[in-house]
Structures are given as structure tokens and as C-alpha cells.
């Protein structure tokens, strides 16, 4: 007999599961239940239609119920809400757009309810002009409100991925934008010094307010329309449009009411095969808890890539004899912020510190391609590796070109369990317009090797910035021209690298020496020279460029 598979929720996880199930079985009856009007749309593209970078709305509509029925023979029921699951009877109770209730039987059920935007219950939160952005309807409403009310000022609350993307796009269509974030940085998966590069870029185009919480929405005298946002210091952000980008919460109400196990983080608990506590019910996407691989603990990771792969795997495990295991996620993500691209994968330093996991941080600032070819752009890269296992735990990068390429390679290295030695030896593409003979990924591996092999000791730039002047002897080996152009750092003694061997008598042997240049390569050479002559020397990882990032972090609200 043919199997009946019911899928609750479309978009990334549900639509992928449905299409994969049909490719595996022509006989299966596949029913997709979607409470909204659109079953398959590019939700990651929503901000870019608001900003007119994607001019055609229909480009966001990947499939309609009609196209899915024609191509995949799927029974897609939009504007239909699943309201209850009877696990004993193996049925789903659904309500259609006119309120009619019916029962749908299943052999296997896939839950892909996603995650809903957080909308705090504060005064004014239901006023006109206050929006969240989750689906096509939200996008349409925002665009219509801007046009209808000739909006000129917008406040975006929350500096996560969605908040930053929406703020960027609103600024691009001429809105006077204020982005408000309660933390001391935007894009929380990045560490503060890396996020500081994005903050600097944001301030070129809009007003960025950090370390302030929004308390309520100010409205007009009639209490109908938003006119601004009141912050916790009682300052006012004038705005006719307010976008709430405060993050998302997994939609687990259906699963919870059905008695399925909910994890400690509030997501649906699944096993390695994506089965819930009921063996005939599977769950995928933003609503489930998955294993964060480098952190070795459960996490909520609301990203389209994992949701797509999970949907496919759930279909495989229902229809194929050999079960496939979902090993976990890395949280690999990328965001564009005007001229900058920021990407990350794996663990960040904040997480590793909190869990008290051993790690070594390293910074480098290589070019996006060969320096002698015109147009090379610097990439700020941060690496976190385990000194004993010699494995990479996480990586972050910010720049203008070639950023996501390097993070993708490093994400693959983490997923594949490559050692830092294998990363150093990766054979990657090289041609002067697009890369270097020593790719930034190879350089990263070589730097990690040098530290792990004991060829150089390092000190983190944040520790140098916070240190007292007499804690260590600070040595600057940049050229005199760089010093004149870029300025001195605090109490550092300046000896150019090429003069170092002849001036060793100016350095103390009873104090540690922290040496830096502009990006870290020359100071590494200096550290090798000094170590051969018996000095207790540490290379400031990331050098003066990283020191500048940490000086900016010291005053995040500016």
C-alpha cells in the first residue's frame, strides 16, 4: 500500500521534504498543510524587495500550490492551519480559511512550523506602523505603509541578521534609519571586535545606537500610529515606521499540545534521524533543537541551509531503508552590510569562554587576492582552534571581497574534522585576480601550526589593550613611514624590524616582550629573532590592525 505523508509547514524545510519524498516515491500520497497563502517563497530575500534591490515581487515566489501539484503531484493546502495532532489515531485536525474543521490521516508526519518573530507586549506595540518581518504578507504591508504614509524616518529594533539587513535596505531607499541594539554589538554570532567593523560601516549610512533597550512605542494623540520609540534612558527615536527585529522563537505549540518532547532550549527535541519522541512524527527547520558540533551541546539554529537539508533527510528516513543521521550544525552564516561582508562558522570566543573550553585565538588580515593585482581588499579573519587536538573550533571574517569563500572552506574543514596541518596543506584555487598562492585559508593553517608547534607564543590584542603599561615591554617593529602615517600605540617602543638585530641591547630580558607590526607577519619574524636570542617574546596576534579593533570595542556606544 502507498504511504501517506503529511507535512505541516512549507518554505525551506517542508517544501524540501515534500519534493524529496516525491522524487523517492511516485506512489506516496503527499499532503502539505500551510497556514499562510504562500507555500514556497524566498524568505531570506524579503528585505531586498523592500529596498528594491530585488525589484520583482514574483521572483520571491518559488512555487505555488498549482506548480507544485503539476511538477511533483503534491496536494498543497494553503490558508489551512493544523490545530491539533491525535497521535493515537494518527490524524491531524485542520481548519481551512472559512473555519471548516476536518481530519487528515497520516502514516508519517513531518513538522516544519518554523520560528515566529518575537513581539514584546509593550505599550504601542500594536500601533499602525509597527511591523515584524517573517513572510510575504509582512513584506507587502511594510512596503504599502511606507508608500501610503510617505514615511521618511524608520527605527529598526534589534541588530541581528534581519534587523541589520532591513536597516540597510531602508537606508538604501532614502529612509533616515536608526538601528537600536541592546547589546554592545550587532550580529551576536560575531565576537565584539569583529562586529565593530560592521558598526563602523553602519554608522556611515545610518544612526546606530548600542547598549540601549527600547521600552515602548510612542504613538500619536489618537493612539493609532507610531511616531517614535522610547528607549530605556527615556530618549526618543523619531520614526513613523518601526521594525521589530528582536529575534525568533521556535513555534512549538502544535508539538507541545500533542505531547511531544520539548528540549531545554524550547525547541522540538529530535533524535539523530530527526524523529521526535513519537517515531511516526519527524521535525525539521527552525523549530527543532540540533547538536552544535564544535560546542558539543544542543542549539537553536534558525538558518535556511540546515532547514533544507533536514527536510530532505526526513523524507529519506521515511522512505529509504537505510537511515541517515543528522550530525549537527555549525551555524555557518553570512550577512552583507553595505560595502562589507561578514561571515562566521562554528564557535565564537564568547561561547568558548562561557563553556570554559580550551582554545587559542588568532587574527590575520590577508588580501582577497594577490597583492600585486589591482583591487585586492583586506579580509579581517579570526580563528579559534584547540591547541591539543589541533582542530579548528570556529572562524569569523569581515571584508569586501572573498570573505564567504574562505569561511565556506573553513566550515568544510570543521565539518570534516581536518586538523590545522591539513588546513595548511589544502590545495585551493589560485590566479592573481581571485586568490593568492598562499590562500588566506592556508595562511591561517600555517599560523595555527606555528603556535601549536611552539614556534611562537602569542598574546591576544584585547589583553594588550587592557594591560597596564608596565605589565610587558611593548615593541613596535613597523617602519617609520607607517608610524608617521598611522600613529603610535600607547607606550610602545619603536624599533623597525630591519634594525632589530643591531639594537637588541635596548630590550629587556627580565620582562616579557609583546611585539607587533601592522598585520602580524613582520612581528612574527621579530618574535623568531628575539626568541633565538633568549628573550621572552610574544607576538600580538593581529598586530596594530587588531589593536585598533579592540580600542574601538572599548567604546562601543560611540
Is 44 marked active-site?
A: yes
473: left (phi over 0), alpha (psi -120 to 50) or beta: beta
Non-local (6+) Cβ contacts of 65 within 8 A are 39, 76, 77, 78
Q: Which of 358, 354, 352, 362 is nearest to 420 (CA)?
A: 362
Q: Does residue 309 belong to any structural domain of this protein?
A: yes
380: left (phi over 0), alpha (psi -120 to 50) or beta: beta
The mean predicted confidence, pLDDT, of the chain is: 95
* Predicted local distance difference test score (pLDDT) of residue 469: 75
The count of domains in the chain is 4
Q: Does residue 123 belong to any structural domain of this protein?
A: no
Asked if 10 and 106 sit in the same domain, the reply is: yes
pLDDT at 239 > cutoff 80:
yes
Mean pLDDT to the nearest integer, 196-223: 95
Asked if 294 and 236 sit in the same domain, the reply is: no
Q: Which of 408, 446, 420 is nearest to 359 (CA)?
A: 420
Q: Which of 230, 246, 262 is the last residue of a domain?
A: 246
User: Which of 44, 172, 429, 517 does the annotation list as catalytic?
Assistant: 44
Asked if 233 and 275 sit in the same domain, the reply is: no
Measure the CA–CA gap between 387 and 403, rounded to whole angstroms.
Answer: 25
Asked if 194 and 215 sit in the same domain, the reply is: yes
Mean pLDDT to the nearest integer, 152-181: 97
pLDDT at 558 > cutoff 50:
no
Measure the CA–CA gap between 247 and 257, rounded to whole angstroms.
Answer: 24
pLDDT at 556 > cutoff 70:
no
Asked if 134 and 242 sit in the same domain, the reply is: yes
Mean pLDDT to the nearest integer, 34-44: 91
Q: Which of 417, 452, 487 is the last residue of a domain?
A: 452
Measure the CA–CA gap between 189 and 348, rounded to whole angstroms.
Answer: 7
Mean pLDDT to the nearest integer, 440-460: 96
The CATH number of whichever domain residue 158 belongs to comes to 3.50.50.60
Asked if 256 and 190 sit in the same domain, the reply is: no
Q: How confident is the model at residue 295 (pLDDT cuts 50, 70, 90)?
A: very high
Q: Does residue 325 belong to any structural domain of this protein?
A: no
Mean pLDDT to the nearest integer, 532-557: 86
Measure the CA–CA gap between 535 and 529, rounded to whole angstroms.
Answer: 9
Mean pLDDT to the nearest integer, 135-148: 96
Mean pLDDT to the nearest integer, 232-239: 96
DSSP string, 194-205: HHHHHHHHHTTT
pLDDT at 445 > cutoff 90:
yes
Measure the CA–CA gap between 288 and 509, rounded to whole angstroms.
Answer: 56
pLDDT at 283 > cutoff 50:
yes
Q: Does residue 65 belong to any structural domain of this protein?
A: yes
Q: How confident is the model at residue 555 (pLDDT cuts 50, 70, 90)?
A: low
Asked if 382 and 352 sit in the same domain, the reply is: yes
Asked if 254 and 238 sit in the same domain, the reply is: no
Mean pLDDT to the nearest integer, 501-506: 97
Q: Does residue 329 belong to any structural domain of this protein?
A: no
DSSP string, 41-53: E-GGGHHHHHTTS
Q: DSSP 3-state assignment of 346?
A: strand
Asked if 9 and 99 sit in the same domain, the reply is: yes
Measure the CA–CA gap between 281 and 111, rounded to whole angstroms.
Answer: 7
Least trusted range by pLDDT, from 39-43, 296-300, 389-393, 398-402: 39-43
Mean pLDDT to the nearest integer, 391-412: 98
| Residue 177, domain extent | 130-246
Beta strand 176-181 with 153-157: parallel, antiparallel or unpaired? parallel
Q: Which of 506, 525, 504, 514 is nearest to 547 (CA)?
A: 514
Asked if 37 and 78 sit in the same domain, the reply is: yes
Q: Does residue 359 belong to any structural domain of this protein?
A: yes
Q: Does residue 45 belong to any structural domain of this protein?
A: yes
DSSP string, 468-513: -TTSSEEEE---HHHHHHH---TTPEE--GGGGGGGGGGS-SSS-E
The CATH number of whichever domain residue 495 belongs to comes to 3.40.250.10
Measure the CA–CA gap between 553 and 463, rounded to whole angstroms.
Answer: 12
Mean pLDDT to the nearest integer, 224-244: 96
Asked if 416 and 436 sit in the same domain, the reply is: yes
Q: What element of type H or E holds 155?
A: strand 153-157
Q: Which of 212, 246, 280 is the last residue of a domain?
A: 246
The pTM of this model reads 0.93
Measure the CA–CA gap between 92 and 84, rounded to whole angstroms.
Answer: 6
* Predicted local distance difference test score (pLDDT) of residue 175: 97
pLDDT digits (tens, 9 = 90+) for 508-523: 999 999 999 998 999 9
* Predicted local distance difference test score (pLDDT) of residue 124: 93
Asked if 56 and 98 sit in the same domain, the reply is: yes
Q: Does residue 122 belong to any structural domain of this protein?
A: no
Say if residues 384 and 347 touch (Cβ distance below 8 Å).
yes
Mean pLDDT to the nearest integer, 126-151: 96
Amino acid at each position: 500500500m502507498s504511504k501517506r505523508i503529511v507535512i505541516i509547514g512549507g518554505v525551506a524545510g517542508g517544501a524540501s521534504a515534500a519534493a524529496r519524498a516525491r522524487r523517492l516515491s511516485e506512489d506516496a500520497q503527499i499532503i502539505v498543510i500551510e497556514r499562510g497563502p504562500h507555500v514556497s517563497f524566498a524568505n531570506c530575500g524579503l528585505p531586498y524587495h523592500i529596498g528594491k534591490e530585488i525589484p520583482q515581487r514574483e521572483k520571491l515566489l518559488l512555487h505555488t500550490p498549482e506548480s507544485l501539484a503539476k511538477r511533483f503531484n503534491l496536494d498543497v493546502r494553503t490558508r489551512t492551519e493544523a490545530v491539533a495532532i491525535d497521535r493515537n489515531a494518527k490524524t491531524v485536525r485542520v481548519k481551512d480559511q472559512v473555519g471548516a474543521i476536518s481530519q487528515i490521516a497520516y502514516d508519517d508526519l513531518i513538522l516544519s512550523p518554523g520560528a515566529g518573530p518575537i513581539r514584546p507586549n509593550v505599550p504601542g506595540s500594536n500601533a499602525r506602523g509597527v511591523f515584524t518581518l517573517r513572510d510575504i504578507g509582512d513584506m507587502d504591508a511594510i512596503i504599502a505603509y511606507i508608500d501610503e504614509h510617505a514615511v521618511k524616518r524608520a527605527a529598526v529594533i534589534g541588530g541581528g541578521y534581519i534587523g541589520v539587513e532591513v536597516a540597510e535596505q531602508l537606508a538604501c531607499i532614502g529612509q533616515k534609519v536608526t538601528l537600536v541594539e541592546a547589546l554592545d554589538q550587532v550580529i551576536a554570532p560575531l565576537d565584539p571586535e569583529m562586529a565593530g567593523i560592521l558598526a563602523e560601516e553602519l554608522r556611515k549610512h545610518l544612526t546606530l545606537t548600542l547598549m540601549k533597550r527600547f521600552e515602548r512605542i510612542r504613538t500619536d494623540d489618537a493612539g493609532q500610529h507610531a511616531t517614535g520609540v522610547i528607549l530605556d534612558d527615556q530618549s526618543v527615536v523619531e520614526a513613523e515606521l518601526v521594525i521589530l527585529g528582536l529575534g525568533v522563537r521556535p513555534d512549538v505549540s502544535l508539538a507541545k499540545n500533542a505531547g511531544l518532547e520539548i528540549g531545554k532550549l524550547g525547541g522540538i527535541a529530535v533524535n539523530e534521524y530527526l524523529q521526535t519522541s513519537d517515531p511516526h512524527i519527524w521535525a525539521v527547520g527552525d523549530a527543532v533543537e540540533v547538536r552544535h558540533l564544535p560546542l558539543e551541546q544542543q542549539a537553536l539554529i534558525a538558518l535556511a541551509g540546515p532547514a533544507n537539508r533536514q527536510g530532505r533527510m526526513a523524507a529519506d528516513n521515511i522512505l529509504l531503508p537505510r537511515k541517515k543521521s543528522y550530525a549537527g550544525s555549525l551555524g555557518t552564516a553570512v550577512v552583507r552590510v553595505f560595502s562589507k561582508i561578514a561571515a562566521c562558522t562554528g564557535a565564537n570566543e564568547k561561547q568558548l569562554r562561557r563553556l570554559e573550553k580550551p582554545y587559542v585565538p588568532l587574527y590575520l588580515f590577508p588580501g582577497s587576492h594577490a597583492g600585486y593585482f589591482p583591487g585586492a581588499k583586506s579580509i579581517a579573519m579570526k580563528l579559534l582552534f584547540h591547541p591539543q587536538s589541533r582542530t579548528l573550533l570556529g572562524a569569523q571574517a569581515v571584508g569586501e571581497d572573498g570573505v564567504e569563500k574562505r569561511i565556506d572552506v573553513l566550515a568544510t574543514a570543521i565539518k570534516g574534522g581536518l586538523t590545522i596541518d591539513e588546513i595548511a596543506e589544502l590545495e585551493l584555487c589560485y590566479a592573481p585576480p581571485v586568490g593568492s598562492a598562499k590562500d588566506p585559508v592556508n595562511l591561517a593553517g600555517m599560523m595555527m601550526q606555528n603556535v601549536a608547534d611552539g614556534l611562537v607564543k602569542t598574546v591576544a590584542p584585547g589583553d594588550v589593550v587592557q594591560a597596564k603599561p608596565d605589565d610587558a615591554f611593548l615593541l613596535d617593529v613597523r617602519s617609520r613611514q607607517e608610524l608617521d602615517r598611522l600613529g603610535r600605540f600607547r607606550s610602545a617602543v619603536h624599533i623597525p624590524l630591519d634594525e632589530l638585530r643591531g639594537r637588541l641591547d635596548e630590550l629587556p630580558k627580565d620582562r616579557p616582550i609583546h611585539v607587533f607590526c601592522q598585520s602580524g607577519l613582520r612581528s612574527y619574524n621579530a618574535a623568531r629573532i628575539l626568541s633565538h636570542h633568549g628573550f621572552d617574546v610574544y607576538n600580538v596576534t593581529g598586530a596594530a590592525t587588531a589593536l585598533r579593533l579592540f580600542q574601538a570595542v572599548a567604546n562601543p556606544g560611540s
